[in-house]
Amino acid sequence: MPSQKRRSRLSTPGCIETAVAFFTALSLLSVPRLWGCRITVLPLGKIFSLAALACIVSALVVSVDAPRFSDHFIDDVAFRAAWITIAQVPLVYLLATKRGPLNIIAALSYERVNWIHRWSGRMLFLSATTHMGIMMRSIDVSDIIRSPDKVMIVVRYGVASYGTLAWIALTSALPVRRWSYRAFYLNHWASTSVLLWVLFNHVPRSARAPIYASTAIVAFDRLFHYYALVRNNVCIRVVKRRLSKFRKGPSRKAITVGLPVKMTAPTLASPTPESTTVIRICNVPFSWTPGQHVRLYLPELGCCEVHPFTPATCSQPAVSPALPDDVENDRLLSPTTPATAESPLPNEMVLLVRSHSGLTRRLAEYCSTWLSRPCPNASCPSSSLTAYIDGPYGTPPAWEAYSTLVLVATSTGVSFSLSIMDWLAQLCTLDPTRLGVKRIHFVWSVRHLEPQFEASVADMLVRHATTLRDAGVDVTAVFYATCPEANQAVIEGEEVVIEGGEEEYMEELDYTPKHDFDEVEELHGFDSQESFDSRASSSTLIDEEAPRGSFWSQFEPRTVSSPSTREQGCTCSFVRSQLQSNSKTSSGLVARVYGSRPHLPSMLNSAARARGRESVMVAVCSSADVVAESRNEVAKMNLAFVAGKRDAGVDIFSEGFS
């Protein structure tokens, strides 16, 4: 009887949920910093997985029948390492696919398994090095070069295989990828193809099954990849005829290749050039879910550049069959169907593009040139860009199934949060019974003031939040502008100087510094996008190394803003002074904090209530340090749930490339 009671107690859902929360918390925790430096961006869960993989590979390499540390044992280890190496080749190629069997059957997106692909490739290189190092002890280099023997020909292919593998490992290093991702991508594809060919000639026929499997995986991935490209970018549309109002008969249909890209005209006058470009891709013929990303190709701006972006909108339920009239088609927008970033046409994809270098810089220059051109009715009409989209990619969770959503984003990562808001707002109209969300906490942190960018984000957020509030969802939003030059807030027309962080700001408003979303007064002003290094990735999938110390340490407010301490080129103070008179309210929804950064621990604990069996999801789209800090806080919450200090665990979903 006691044993049966023990089994029933262990089989209860509470015990299972507690065990899952405990292991989830351990997998989310980050490695502590050593002397202020981050050792690795991988959480403990991934480190344990890699350690298990390394132990398995090492055990398989040394598990031979020969006596340990004898000459025969060393030779057996060399041959065993060769077999282990060739057996790992299909795994490495399987993890490298975007539309391969693993992605389709297991519903795993490629960016979620990229880290396993890189580390399994390193394991393969280590086992190949073991084989190569031992075998070269008994082979003369001159025989490899000059001997016409068939055995030496096979050895030459083996040396070529190892040389190709070493070249792949060398050119896949992070500095090389950051220097030129295009060069890395082209070299990687060419080198991996050559590797399969030289391995095919090196291994005996009885060991070629992994080579055939790897070739089949690559062919399967390429086949579905090209099929998806054709499906996304080649379609039949109704084309409007000239003087169609005076003609009778059916409309003409034509096959169109590519999708039209439209620039968004600014609604606010900015005293300084903005570094964020808002573009619209019209009549997208496929659907995507919130949190997914696409890979954008603009051949007119970069023949070999493909960039990942997260759409700021969600696919609409209906697609307009005809191309919309637009100023870029040498026509004026119809007054009854205006198309802007804040009010997109059906199934339009809105992208927020941060200008850094390469394609994104050329896109910003194209937009500036387009804005400087005369009216389309003048003698110099504008021309449209054509985009090709690869995707969508990603397997986000069912956002509508959670009771509380905490959306945290920095810079253009706000498009990730806006797409979720758009999807939930659509559910309010299409299928309200599916919407289980009761509270949404929207947090956006930016660096420098950029009025048009902030206005576009605020307008989209207010439109979605209004629909959600009408459906009974509690929505709160806080915008942070962390630039020290923007630490003057305007409250109902009165200027208040904030000479410190968020604590002083709360005291100025007679609030206790609890960082509660419900206790922040609304401030009216403009904030902008975070200023990253010009060499960093420009997508909303932020891929960059953070500086030393915490990510937020670069946003620490300063009490004195003398000319010597101001950031070079910063015009936030000037922008604020010019735009204070034009600031507008956001229906009491958006609270704005200037000269301070969000305190993630207090913010997450305030949003995710400790009491109550409510499901909570924390969605983060930011740099590696912000994601790591959010994971640590969620891990602490789950450990608190295991200890009985919380009534439910907390889930987290992060978007970003490591």
CA-based nearest residue to 383, from 260, 486, 497, 504 = 260
Dist. CA 222–CA 217, nearest whole Å:
9
Percent of the chain with pLDDT over 70: 71
Summarize pLDDT for 304-334 with one digit per residue, the tens: 788 889 999 988 764 333 333 444 433 333 3
33 phi/psi in degrees, rounded to 5: -70, 150
* Residue-level pLDDT at 135: 87
Q: Where do the DSSP E strands lie in 218-318? A: 234-239, 252-257, 259-263, 276-281, 293-297, 306-309
Summarize pLDDT for 502-554 with one digit per residue, the tens: 444 334 333 333 333 333 333 322 233 232 233 333 344 333 333 334 444 43
Dist. CA 444–CA 540, nearest whole Å:
13
* Residue-level pLDDT at 529: 29
Dist. CA 501–CA 336, nearest whole Å:
46
Distances in Å between the Cα of 175 and the Cα atoms of 69, 234, 494 are 39, 37, 49
Summarize pLDDT for 253-305 with one digit per residue, the tens: 777 888 888 877 666 555 555 678 888 888 888 899 999 999 999 888 878 78
Q: Which pTM value belongs to this model? A: 0.78
Helix (H, G, I), strand (E, B) or coil at 78: helix
Q: Which residues lie below 8 Å from residue 413, measured CB to CB, with a gap of 6+?
A: 310, 540, 542, 621, 622, 655
Mean pLDDT, residues 627-643 taken together: 90
* Residue-level pLDDT at 365: 81
pLDDT above 90: residue 442: yes
Helix (H, G, I), strand (E, B) or coil at 235: strand
Note the residue count of the chain: 658
Phi-psi region of 291 (alpha: psi -120 to 50; beta: other; left: phi over 0): left
Summarize pLDDT for 227-259 with one digit per residue, the tens: 999 999 988 776 655 555 555 555 667 778 888
**Of 554-563, 566-575, 585-594, 600-609, which one has max mean pLDDT?**
600-609
Q: Where are the alpha helices (DSSP H) in 320-450?
A: 359-372, 414-430
* Residue-level pLDDT at 346: 59
Mean pLDDT, residues 575-579 taken together: 55
Taking each helix axis as running N to C, give the angle between helix 600-607 and helix 624-642, from 0 to 180 degrees, rounded to the nearest 10. Answer: 50
pLDDT above 90: residue 163: yes
Q: Of 205-219, 404-418, 589-603, which gets the smallest average pLDDT?
A: 589-603
Q: Read off the tokens for 596.
A: 């301070």
Comparing 472 with 503, the larger pLDDT belongs to 472
| CB burial readout 170-185, b (16+ within 10 A) else e | eebeeeebeeebeebe
Comparing 345 with 616, the larger pLDDT belongs to 616
Mean pLDDT, residues 470-493 taken together: 72
The conformation of residue 109, written as its DSSP 8-state character, comes to -
Dist. CA 413–CA 607, nearest whole Å:
20
Mean pLDDT, residues 14-32 taken together: 85
The amino acid occupying position 651 is: D
* Residue-level pLDDT at 168: 94
Percent of the chain with pLDDT over 90: 27
**Are the CB atoms for 304 and 406 separated by under 8 Å?**
no
Summarize pLDDT for 349-363 with one digit per residue, the tens: 999 888 777 788 888
Distances in Å between the Cα of 259 and the Cα atoms of 76, 168, 236, 313, 322 are 58, 35, 12, 16, 12
For every residue of 435-496, DSSP letters joined together read ----EEEEEEEESS--HHHHHHHHHHHHHHHHHHHHTT-EEEEEEEE--GGG-EEEETTEEE
Show the domains of the chain with their CATH numbers: 29-228 (1.20.120), 251-321+340-372+381-393 (2.40.30), 399-559+568-655 (no CATH)
For every residue of 580-630, DSSP letters joined together read GGG----TT-EEEEES----HHHHHHHHS-SSS---EEEEEES-HHHHHHH
Reply yes or no: is the peptide bond before residue 392 cis, omega within 30 of 0.
yes
Dist. CA 354–CA 399, nearest whole Å:
26
* Residue-level pLDDT at 213: 95
pLDDT above 60: residue 597: yes
* Residue-level pLDDT at 6: 42
* Residue-level pLDDT at 576: 59
* Residue-level pLDDT at 218: 94
Q: What is the mean pLDDT of the chain?
A: 75
* Residue-level pLDDT at 508: 37
